[in-house]
């Protein structure tokens, strides 16, 4: 392979639309001949256009060009060649092409970084005979397009199946190309609520293929494994990949933030935009609403509410024959018809592999390299560094979260220092290496990552564990400051924790909201309890959200913005209510649940709101009469919405 171009390059990704269907129609032998002819055709076009083939898998080609104009000309030439080639058996072969231009991060034989995956996802959004461009590619060739006889159609912004930031896409138009106007296969077009991901998904090709196949024949598939093994990311990746198979959408219900089993049906209903109906159980309404739907429901983090999940899943599957459920849990749901699929760790690098190019074929090494480049762009994968990365990945047993936490240290430590410090942190485990569960390795890496923090960073991380779900900077500044953490320092400390992959940030709503992975939150919560701070910090957490709800109450009649704010903080409000129950703070619970009346009614959360009110009323018989009267009126208002006039 010639030396890879560096600097600004253009990536081309292409594949054959509907290749599995062509294989089934032609059979193995004829399809193999067709594929061989196709590969020769593509390689001829690439060679003539001065492209360099980086990778080929099946009918998919990944190619790099020094200039965007070369890539565009080759893409048009490829579509012409495919459309005029005499394919055997009068087979119709239609090719999708995606182009994306970026600053290349190259090793000797490969590229790493977010942009490598972008061209593939742009290609996957298209249809046969289409050429799609990213915004960066468009910016470089827009003025040159007319000279090539091309027009460029703006298709608008689209979320791609990598679940990352939206991309504005453009379609290449030419007299020799059909004018395809079918809506793109993007998350912006297909119905779903899958969340934005801040990092690219790495590897797991075999697991993805296996799960996609399973979902064609099994109605309930549960991904099991210890925390940090990658269950959630794999489930989201598979869900995005199969989205076109479900005309009524792919919907995520995240149960990580749920501590009250009674809330599980409401979380699922909210994910599916199903509202309560007067006089009916929500589970019955869900089953009816889904009866004719062809959709995939992703139930994430079921393990701590299995007693509520299992009967709900059984009821939904019985009432909705076209429903598929992909669940994640540390243990099975134990529901009839369930297929249990244990998530393996990432494959480990071959001990015999020495070169960077060979080692980058391994998914654990690729994951480390991708995450290291994200925090330290100067990080380079060569034969020397690749060997150290391989050692780290093997020592971490291919556990994705452990690898990500180790890679984040490259921002401030050399690779050799990361390996040495990690080895010191894991040395406590030598006697149990061959037999102990892998989650002990993750626990040791969590301890090691925690030890690398400054005292102020450790203090903040511990206190952040009181948040259930996401939180704002303002909330963190008030709840987590004090006793070693100045309010003005919270933003900087949060930024450091984000850099170290211990805190995640989401800015897609226009406001930065932070959250901890569930594994990190549990670990930090244990440290908070060990430190003796849990009660005080949880009290500040409860006080903050009670004050927030009081501030919101008079605005809920007129302000959609406040309703949305409370929706974003709904998991934290549930956490506060749980804490009030645990500490017998029923009068505060009465104040909180009463002030939320408008929120319960407008959002259709009748059963949950009424349950909170009734629990608080029972627990606070001596509350001020005016408060109890207000709470009774609120409970009665909800009962009226439920058409329940007997209780």
In the chain, domain spans: 7-173, 205-342, 356-429, 453-532, 535-647
> 471-496: string of b/e by CB count within 10 Å (b at 16+)?
bbeebbbbbbbeeebeeeebeebbeb
| Token pair 């009081």 in the structure block, residue | 550
Q: What is the dihedral of CA 396, 401, 407, 413, to 10 degrees?
A: -80
The DSSP string of 236-296 is HHHHHHTGGG-TT-EEEEE-TT---GGGHHHHHHHHTTPPP-TTS-HHHHHHHHHTT---E
Out of 3.20.20.140, 3.40.50.10800, 3.30.450.20, 3.40.50.300, select the CATH number for domain 205-342: 3.40.50.300
* Helices and strands, number each (H, E), in the chain: 27, 15
Closest listed residue to residue 97, CA positions, set 142, 42, 55, 27: 42
Residue 118 confidence (pLDDT): 86
Total-model pTM: 0.82
Q: Do residues 297 and 269 lie in contact, with contact meaning Cβ atoms separated by under 8 Å?
A: no
Please give the class, per CATH, of domain 535-647. Answer: mainly alpha
The CATH architecture one would assign to domain 7-173 is: 2-Layer Sandwich (3.30)
Tokens matching residue 247? 């005309």
Residues of the chain with pLDDT below 70 are: 1, 107-109, 113, 425-439, 647
Please give the class, per CATH, of domain 453-532. Answer: mainly alpha
Tokens matching residue 307? 């007693």
Q: What SS3 class is residue 97?
A: strand
Tokens matching residue 369? 């390299």
Residue 113 confidence (pLDDT): 66
Beta strands 296-300; 250-254: pairing state: parallel
The DSSP string of 478-526 is HHH-SSS--GGGHHHHHHHHHHTTSSEEE-TTSS-EEE--HHHHHHHHH
Closest listed residue to residue 114, CA positions, set 345, 370, 450: 370
Which residues is 10 bridged to in the sheet? 65, 101
Q: Do residues 234 and 252 lie in contact, with contact meaning Cβ atoms separated by under 8 Å?
A: no
Beta-carbon count within 10 A of 634 CB: 24
Residue 246 confidence (pLDDT): 95
């Amino acid at each position: 392979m010639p030396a890879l171009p560096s600097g600004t390059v253009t990536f081309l990704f292409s594949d054959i639309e509907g290749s599995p269907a062509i294989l089934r129609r032609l059979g193995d032998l004829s399809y193999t001949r067709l594929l061989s002819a196709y590969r020769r055709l593509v390689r001829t076009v690439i060679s003539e256009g001065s492209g360099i083939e980086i990778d080929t898998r099946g009918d998919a080609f990944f190619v790099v060009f020094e200039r965007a104009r070369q890539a565009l000309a080759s893409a048009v030439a490829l579509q012409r060649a495919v459309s005029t080639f005499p394919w055997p058996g009068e087979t119709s072969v239609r090719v999708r092409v995606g182009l994306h231009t970026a600053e290349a991060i190259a090793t000797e034989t490969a590229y790493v970084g977010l942009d490598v995956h972008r061209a593939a996802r742009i290609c996957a959004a298209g249809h046969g005979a289409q050429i799609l461009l990213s915004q960066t590619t468009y910016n470089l060739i827009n003025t040159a397009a007319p000279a090539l006889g091309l027009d460029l159609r703006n298709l608008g912004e689209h979320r791609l199946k990598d679940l990352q930031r939206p991309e504005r896409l453009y379609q290449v138009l030419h007299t020799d190309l059909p004018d395809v106007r079918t809506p793109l296969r993007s998350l912006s077009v297909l119905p779903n609520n899958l969340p934005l991901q801040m990092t690219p998904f790495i590897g797991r090709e075999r697991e993805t293929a296996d799960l996609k196949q399973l979902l064609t024949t099994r109605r309930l598939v549960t991904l099991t494994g210890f925390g940090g093994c990658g269950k959630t990311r794999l489930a989201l990746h598979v869900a995005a990949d199969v989205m076109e198979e479900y005309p009524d959408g792919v919907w995520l219900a995240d149960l990580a933030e749920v501590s009250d089993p009674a809330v599980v049906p409401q979380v699922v209903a909210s994910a599916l935009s199903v509202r309560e109906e007067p006089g009916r159980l929500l589970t019955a309404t869900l089953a009816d609403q889904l009866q004719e739907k062809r959709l995939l429901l992703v139930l994430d983090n079921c393990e701590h509410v299995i007693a509520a999940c299992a009967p709900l899943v059984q009821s939904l599957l019985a009432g909705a024959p076209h429903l598929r459920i992909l669940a994640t849990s540390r243990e099975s749901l134990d529901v009839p018809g369930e297929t249990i699929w244990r998530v393996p760790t990432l494959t480990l690098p071959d001990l015999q592999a020495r070169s960077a190019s060979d080692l980058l074929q391994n998914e654990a090494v690729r994951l480390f390299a991708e995450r290291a480049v994200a925090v330290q762009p100067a990080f380079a994968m060569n034969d020397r560094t690749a060997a150290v990365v391989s050692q780290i990945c093997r020592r971490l047993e291919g556990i994705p979260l452990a690898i990500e936490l180790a890679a984040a240290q490259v921002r401030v430590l050399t690779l050799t220092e990361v390996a040495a410090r990690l080895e010191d942190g894991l040395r406590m485990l030598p006697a149990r290496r061959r037999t102990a569960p892998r989650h002990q390795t993750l626990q040791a890496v969590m301890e090691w990552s925690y030890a690398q923090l400054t005292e102020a960073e450790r203090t903040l991380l511990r206190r952040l564990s009181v948040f259930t779900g996401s939180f704002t900077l303002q909330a963190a500044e008030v709840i987590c400051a004090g006793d070693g953490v100045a309010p003005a320092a919270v933003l900087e400390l949060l930024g450091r924790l984000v850099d170290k992959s211990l805190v995640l940030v989401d800015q897609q709503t226009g406001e930065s909201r932070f959250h901890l992975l569930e594994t990190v939150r549990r670990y930090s919560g244990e440290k908070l309890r060990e430190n003796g701070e849990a009660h005080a910090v949880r009290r500040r957490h409860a006080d903050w959200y009670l004050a927030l709800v009081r501030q919101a109450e008079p605005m809920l009649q007129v302000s959609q913005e406040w309703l949305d704010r409370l929706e974003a903080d709904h998991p934290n409000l549930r956490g506060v209510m749980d804490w009030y129950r645990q500490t017998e703070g029923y009068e505060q619970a009465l104040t909180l649940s009463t002030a939320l009346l408008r929120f319960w009614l407008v959002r259709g959360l009748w059963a949950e709101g009424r349950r909170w009110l009734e629990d608080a009323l029972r627990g606070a018989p001596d509350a001020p009469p005016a408060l109890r009267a207000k709470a009774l009126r609120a409970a009665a208002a909800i009962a009226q919405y439920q058409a329940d006039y007997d209780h």
